[in-house]
């Protein structure tokens, strides 16, 4: 949270400086008469900064801004994930500028914010399928991606997350064990991204399922005793080799196709 505020400081300070120097020059022109009303001048100096701080971006990812309230929602989902131990999330949306009123468009043009767009929260999603596009946006919004939590792992993209992310503008992940949020944006073309990553998705499902099976056997002495121990040891050894290869390949695909931004 501190970093997000710090990253906004130069913009905030810059805008404040314009306001103060403007008022100082006005004050010189009007002379001593206005000195009596210096209290109201101070109030005038404060008001724009309060307004600005409400409008200022919390965290910028490419041409999108993650406002404070969205980051708070993301953190809340991490808290809930710790309790429920399942993936949770929501769709990430932006306002469709074609549906804005003329008045809103004028404001956008004035502050140049038509290039940088505020992310809005879409519908919530629950369950492991959350990493797939299940969240939806309002009718006057455009779907740009998803946020979802990982109950047990890093805020890093699985192959499935990457395949989903190939067709999105932004994919954000919150990690319950590490209490961190990270957003990913594609740096290759959508077709190149899918072409490179898609072929590894089935292999990921196979290896994660294998890991799940081994863990369920190792969960209790009863299931271990019932198992062919020699075969189990061989399976574990093979799994360790396979999972190391899988992660190496996953990191390679991630670095080649996505940029990452730490949110908190």
Residue 64 CB, nearest distance to Zn ion (Å)? 20
Is 175 a residue that touches Zn ion (CB under 5 A)?
no
> How many CA atoms lie within 13 Å of 122's alpha carbon, on the beta-carbon side?
27
Residue 252 CB, nearest distance to Zn ion (Å)? 18
Q: Which stretch, 105-113, 150-158, 198-206, 237-245, contacts Zn ion (CB under 5 A)? A: 150-158
Question: Three-state DSSP class for 139?
Answer: coil
Q: Which stretch, 69-77, 105-113, 161-169, 254-262, contacts Zn ion (CB under 5 A)? A: 161-169
Of 161, 168, 171, 204, which lies in the binding site for Zn ion, with binding defined by CB under 5 A?
161
Size of residue set near Zn ion by CB under 5 A: 3
Nearer to Zn ion, 57 or 155 (CB): 155
Is 131 a residue that touches Zn ion (CB under 5 A)?
yes
Q: Please state, as a whole number, how many other Cβ atoms lie within 10 Å of the Cβ of residue 166.
A: 22
Question: Three-state DSSP class for 87?
Answer: coil
Q: Which stretch, 18-26, 46-54, 123-131, 242-250, contacts Zn ion (CB under 5 A)? A: 123-131
Nearer to Zn ion, 95 or 171 (CB): 171
Nearer to Zn ion, 65 or 254 (CB): 254
The sheet with strand 258-262 has its strands ordered as 120-126, 88-95, 141-150, 170-175, 180-186, 258-262
Q: Which stretch, 5-13, 88-96, 151-159, 227-235, contacts Zn ion (CB under 5 A)? A: 151-159
Please report, as residue ranges, which positions from 202 to 221 form the binding site for Zn ion (by CB under 5 A). Answer: none
Q: Please state, as a whole number, how many other Cβ atoms lie within 10 Å of the Cβ of residue 23.
A: 15
Residue 155 CB, nearest distance to Zn ion (Å)? 9
Alpha carbon 199 to chain centroid distance? 26
Helix (H) / strand (E) element for 199: namely: none
E strand intervals along the chain: 60-61, 64-65, 88-95, 117-118, 120-126, 141-150, 170-175, 180-186, 258-262
Q: Which spans of this chain sit near Zn ion (rule: CB under 5 A)?
A: 131, 158, 161
């Amino acid at each position: 949270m501190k970093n997000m505020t710090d990253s906004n400081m130069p913009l905030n300070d810059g805008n404040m400086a314009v306001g103060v120097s403007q008022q100082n020059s006005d004050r010189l022109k009007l002379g001593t008469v206005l000195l009596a009303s210096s209290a109201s001048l101070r109030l005038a100096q404060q008001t724009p900064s309060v307004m600005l701080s409400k409008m200022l971006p919390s965290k910028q990812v490419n041409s999108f801004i993650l406002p404070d309230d969205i980051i708070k929602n993301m953190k809340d989902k991490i808290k809930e994930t710790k309790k429920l131990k399942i993936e949770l999330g929501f769709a990430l949306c932006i306002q469709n500028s074609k549906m804005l009123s003329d008045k809103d468009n004028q404001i956008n043009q004035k502050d140049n914010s038509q290039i940088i767009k505020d992310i809005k929260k879409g519908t919530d999603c629950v369950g492991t399928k959350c990493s797939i596009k299940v969240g939806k946006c309002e009718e006057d919004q455009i779907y740009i991606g998803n946020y979802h939590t990982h109950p047990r792992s890093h805020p890093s993209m699985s192959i499935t997350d990457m395949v989903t992310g190939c067709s999105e503008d932004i994919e954000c992940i919150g990690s319950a064990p590490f209490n961190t949020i990270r957003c990913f944006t594609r740096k290759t073309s959508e077709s190149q991204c899918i072409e490179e990553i898609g072929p590894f998705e089935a292999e990921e499902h196979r290896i994660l399922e294998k890991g799940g099976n081994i863990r369920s056997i190792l969960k209790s002495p009863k299931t271990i005793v019932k198992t062919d121990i020699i075969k189990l040891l061989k399976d574990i050894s093979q799994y360790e080799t396979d999972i190391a290869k899988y992660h190496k390949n996953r990191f390679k695909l991630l670095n080649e196709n996505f940029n990452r931004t730490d949110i908190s």
